[in-house]
Amino acid sequence: MISLTRKAEFSAAHYYWNEAWSQEKNEAVFGRCANRNGHGHNYTLEVTVTGDVDAVTGFVVDLKELKEVMEREVVGVYDHRHLNLEVPEFKVMVPTTENIAIAIWNRLAGKIKGAKLERVRVYEMPDLFADYCGEA
Amino acid sequence: MISLTRKAEFSAAHYYWNEAWSQEKNEAVFGRCANRNGHGHNYTLEVTVTGDVDAVTGFVVDLKELKEVMEREVVGVYDHRHLNLEVPEFKVMVPTTENIAIAIWNRLAGKIKGAKLERVRVYEMPDLFADYCGEA
Amino acid sequence: MISLTRKAEFSAAHYYWNEAWSQEKNEAVFGRCANRNGHGHNYTLEVTVTGDVDAVTGFVVDLKELKEVMEREVVGVYDHRHLNLEVPEFKVMVPTTENIAIAIWNRLAGKIKGAKLERVRVYEMPDLFADYCGEA
Amino acid sequence: MISLTRKAEFSAAHYYWNEAWSQEKNEAVFGRCANRNGHGHNYTLEVTVTGDVDAVTGFVVDLKELKEVMEREVVGVYDHRHLNLEVPEFKVMVPTTENIAIAIWNRLAGKIKGAKLERVRVYEMPDLFADYCGEA
Amino acid sequence: MISLTRKAEFSAAHYYWNEAWSQEKNEAVFGRCANRNGHGHNYTLEVTVTGDVDAVTGFVVDLKELKEVMEREVVGVYDHRHLNLEVPEFKVMVPTTENIAIAIWNRLAGKIKGAKLERVRVYEMPDLFADYCGEA
Amino acid sequence: MISLTRKAEFSAAHYYWNEAWSQEKNEAVFGRCANRNGHGHNYTLEVTVTGDVDAVTGFVVDLKELKEVMEREVVGVYDHRHLNLEVPEFKVMVPTTENIAIAIWNRLAGKIKGAKLERVRVYEMPDLFADYCGEA
């Protein structure tokens, strides 16, 4: 068993807001992220897959296919978008780094041929990232 | 003469749009950046100042003051903001990397005590940056 | 279960020295790190916490609180200090990268509300780091 | 138990090719990597070892010894070499990132005194890496 | 006047060799780079252009066009290639970092519409790079 | 004319202190850097040289020689040292980033065969650096 990790980037806008709360409560909990005009980030995504190395090709996964899946399922949907306004899953959950990692896991699960999705890591900033490895 | 450069970061949303153009023209020129919902970046700012080294302190500029000026004049105004909607200069010019560098230069010029503002560099992404050194 | 990692930095001086050994023995074991005048590093600290994502906020941990705990318990104590001379735990153990990771774990354990401390990673240099995950 | 990770770099040429296949098949599977003239990379190697911290030295492993083993067993053999043409293990297996990680594990296993080899990570590019932790 | 810099990457093999010299002389001058099997690098290219900011678009240069020129003239020709064997200019000059920078300048000069090519920077490794700004 | 830049690193301790001032004055001017126990950094040094490319070798400067000069004149003297206590020039001037850049320039000037020393850049932290290009 060996794992392979590929990175990708996307730039998106977001804000943190709970419709059930007052503006004061939102600002108290979410600070400057509660600004409804939105702000944004260069997100870095790391997708790790695990499997056996194919004895002939030396690959755990076809890198071109992995790249295409990441592009089609995630980068093509999130990049240059406002996550709250344009990405369905964030109309019902706050686009925190944690929730973005879970959402990307759910988008990729079952889509990568021949290898097991092992971990999704999302960096919102170089000094902040979330890891999700699916439900136990 | 020696120069000193200090970096800072801010996260902001923006879009590229010219009110005088149709949506088609905007999309043709600005591509995916023309999405009016906005997207965003982690911007990195580098401010370079030049001067003589003070013989006693060994400083070209008081680093604490430089940090305060950068925070007060730029980071505190741009960070966690939507540049088009909340920063005055970008209501009349498109917030491209080039224009952001010029706008930051204009915000800092004349505010740094005892040293000459030499260059403003703005990274929109790790692989794209603009430099502005003022008018000749 | 999801994990969130936040980075911080501190700059400190240290040396490696065992009082029970001769200078020759110290230099043989610790090399140039045995210089009693001290040398120093820009340390990078990564703190990883694990927990359930709060269904309302989308947070595993309140990021502002995590930052405050890291600042109060570690960065405020280690930054711009000589570890051997000014930080109590390093009067009795050598401030190697390994021991710094353990010491930071002990400083943070039990202080982070609502999430489990999962791992402490300390970089002494970009090409050298230690990970500690507590006692099994 | 604590782990320590040390990085090293080597620059090497390689290509992907299966002698049993036609040129068309090789290009279909391996893309531009099938170019027999070779291309190359700056590889980054991370070696992680685990063990108990020595109560006297504060070390899991003697860093100088770890560096020497990595240099002698890996960097000295791979650096400035053509992996397919000059490194024995890649005459019989394709030098993919996955296989390089396994080969380095096999070169290092049993050679690091006093600590357990925990993981070998190999970056072929900053956005692509493989991890190998040995056979379960 | 403002400048804009865009980065790109390519992975290539090369070696240093002067046909007029003996193997001993080549190895004395070029060290391990004289290995005729080749080795390789992940090169990073930075292209800087200078010009006036267009008052309407806020651009010094059309970023999409700049990317296309860099791809067509350089990355598409050098990436996944053996520089000595497959790129014409390196059949007559040694592909050192300096010569690669000059060759890229010559490939790009006059191809970027509406802005002046200001500088080409080439990183062979993260700790080594060459800058070329054309003939005075 | 082309320039070549090589990086190196050194880890050192330092403090900022003016013997002619009271402790209060030192702390007011130098902040936490006035702590006489010292703190430290991983410094990154970039040395840029300029010259003509040798038509035969393709080099502006012999890289091995440049590395040896940087090692002998700077890294071997500063690395794992306390700058104030062990490096002569910092007994009479404060080891600020600016002064370290000037001191390194003075150490290297006239020592690099066949090329002109163009610039010395010193990073004290990834977000702070000084450039010195000699006296006009």
Computed from CA positions of residues B7, B8, B14, B17, in that sequence, does the dihedral angle turn out positive or negative? Answer: negative
Q: Which residues of F78-102 are buried (b: 16+ CB within 10 A; e: fewer)?
A: bbbbbbbbbbebbeebbbbbbbbbb
- Torsion sign, CA atoms F126, B82, C70, C50: negative
Angstroms from E125 CA to nearest CA on chain F: 10
- Residue E100: closest C-alpha in chain F: F58
Residue C28 has pLDDT above 90, yes or no: yes
Nearest CA distance, B100 vs chain F (angstrom): 20
For residue F104, what is the DSSP state? H
Beta bridge partners of F125: F128
Structure tokens at C130: 């230690």
For residue D135, what pLDDT is reported? 87
Nearest CA among D8, D16, D28 for reference residue D83? D16
Q: Subunits touching A (CB < 8 Å, at least 3 pairs)?
A: B, C, D
**Exposed (0-12), middle (13-18) or buried (19+): which is B40, by Cβ within 10 Å?**
buried
The CA-atom distances, in angstroms, between F30 and each of B17, B63, C29, E19 are 46, 9, 36, 59
Grade residue D88 by pLDDT with cuts at 50, 70 and 90: very high
Mean pLDDT for the stretch of residues B58-79: 97
Give me the mean pLDDT over the D18-41 stretch: 97
> Which residues of A are less than 8 Å from D97 in CB distance?
4
What CATH number corresponds to the domain at position F93?
A: 3.30.479.10
**Interface touch A128/C5, C-beta < 8 Å:** yes
Q: What is the mean pLDDT of residues D82-96?
A: 97
Q: Is the pLDDT of residue E134 over 80?
A: yes
For the cut 90, the answer to whether the pLDDT of residue D32 exceeds it is yes
Question: Is residue D14 among the annotated active site residues?
Answer: no
Partners of B13 on chain A (C-beta within 8 Å) are 13, 37-40, 82
pLDDT of residue F25: 98
For residues E35 and D81, is the Cβ–Cβ distance under 8 A? yes
Dihedral, CA of residue B6, residue B12, residue B17 and residue B19, to nearest 10: -100
What residues contact E35, with CB distance under 8 A and at least 6 apart?
A: D80, D81, D82, D86, E15
* Contacts of E62 by beta carbon, 8 Å cutoff, 6+ apart: E113, E114
Question: What single-letter amino acid sits at E111?
Answer: K
CB A38 within 8 Å of CB A20: no
Interface of C with A (CB under 8 A): 1-8, 48, 53, 56-60, 63-64
Q: Which of C14, C41, C73, C124 is catalytic?
A: C124
Asked if residues A127 and A48 have their Cβ atoms less than 8 Å apart, the reply is: no
The minimum CA-CA distance between F105 and chain B, rounded to whole Å, is 11
Distant-in-sequence contacts of A130-133, Cβ < 8 A, 24+ apart:
A130/A96, A130/A97, A130/A98, A130/A100, A130/A101, A130/C2, A130/C3, A130/C4, A130/C5, A130/C60, A131/A101, A131/C2, A131/C3, A131/C4, A131/C5, A131/C48, A132/A98, A132/A101, A132/A102, A132/A104, A132/A105, A132/C2, A132/C3, A133/C1
Interface test with C, best of A127, A132, A133, A135 (most C CBs within 10 A): A127
Averaged pLDDT, D65-92: 97
CB contact under 8 A, C128 and D59: no
Query: Which amino acids of B are annotated catalytic?
Result: 33, 80, 124
CA distance D124 to D42: 7
Q: Could you tell me whether strands C116-125 and C81-82 are parallel, antiparallel, or unpaired per DSSP bridges?
A: unpaired
pLDDT tens digit sequence for A8-39: 999 999 999 999 999 999 999 999 999 999 99
Which residues is B9 bridged to in the sheet? Answer: B44
**Does B136 have pLDDT greater than 70?**
no
Burial of D22 (0-12, 13-18, 19+ CB in 10 A): exposed
Contact between C42 and F42 using a beta-carbon 8 Å cutoff: yes
Q: Are A80 and B35 in contact (CB under 8 A)?
A: yes
C80 in catalytic set = yes
Q: Which of A30, A130, A133 sits opposite C4 (nearest CB)?
A: A130
Residue D67, judged by CB atoms within 10 A of its CB (0-12, 13-18, 19+), counts as: middle
* Sign of the torsion formed by the C-alpha atoms of B92, B98, B104 and B106: negative
Distances (CA, A) of B7 to B61, B74, F129: 14, 12, 9
Let me know: does E10 contact E83? Beta carbons within 8 Å: no
Using 50, 70 and 90 to split pLDDT, how confident is the model at B135?
confident
pLDDT score, position D42: 98
CA-CA-CA-CA dihedral for F112, F115, F119, F125, to nearest 10: -50
Taking 70 as the threshold, does the pLDDT of residue C106 lie above it?
yes
pLDDT digits (tens, 9 = 90+) for D112-130: 999 999 999 999 999 999 9
Which residues in chain A are contacts of B41 at CB distance < 8 A? 11, 40-42
Residue C90 pLDDT more than 90? Answer: yes
Spatial distance between the Cα atoms of A87 and A72, rounded to a whole number of angstroms: 14
| Chain B positions in Cβ-Cβ contact with residue A79 (cut-off 8 Å) | 32, 39
Residue B128, pLDDT > 90, answer yes
Q: Which residues, given as ranges, of chain F have pLDDT below 50?
A: none
Residue C44 pLDDT grade (very low, low, confident, very high; cuts 50, 70, 90) = very high
Q: What are the tens digits of pLDDT across the range A32-68? A: 999 999 999 999 999 999 999 999 999 999 999 999 9
pLDDT in tens, D100-109: 999 999 999 9
* A in contact with F (at least 3 C-beta pairs within 8 A): no
CB D121 within 8 A of CB C127: no
Indicate if the pLDDT at residue E136 is higher than 80.
Answer: no
For C80-89, what is the mean pLDDT? 98
Query: What is this structure's pTM?
Result: 0.97
Q: Do A94 and C58 count as a contact with CB atoms less than 8 A apart? A: yes
For residue D91, the model assigns a pLDDT of: 94
Mean pLDDT of chain E: 97
CA–CA separation, E38 vs D14, rounded Å?
A: 9
**Catalytic annotation, pick one of C33, C46, C86, C118:** C33
Q: Dig out the tokens for E130 from the structure.
A: 């060459």
Q: Partners of C50 in the beta sheet?
A: C3, C116
DSSP per-residue letters across A53-69? PPTTT--SS-HHHHHHH
Tokens of C93: 């153990």
Task: Give the residues across from C12 on adjacent strands.
Answer: C41, C81
CA distance C112 to chain A (A): 16
User: Do the Cβ atoms of B62 and E16 come closer than 8 Å?
Assistant: no
Give B63-88 as a 3 state SS string. Answer: HHHHHHHHHHHHHHHHCCEEHHHHCH
Q: Collect all residues with Cβ–Cβ distance below 8 Å to F5 and sequence separation of at least 6.
A: E128, E129, E130, E131, F46, F47, F48, F49
Q: Tell me the helices (H) and strands (E) count for chain E, helix number first.
A: 5, 5
- Could you give the number of structural domains in chain E? 1
pLDDT for the residue C135:
87
Query: What tens digit of pLDDT does each residue of E56-103 get?
Result: 999 999 999 999 999 999 999 999 999 999 999 999 999 999 999 999
Q: How far is CA B44 from CA B8, D118, E54, E64, in A?
A: 6, 36, 23, 22
Task: Give residue D55's domain range.
Answer: 2-132
Could you tell me if F16 and B62 are in contact, meaning their C-beta atoms sit under 8 angstroms apart?
A: no
Average pLDDT of the residues in B98-119:
97
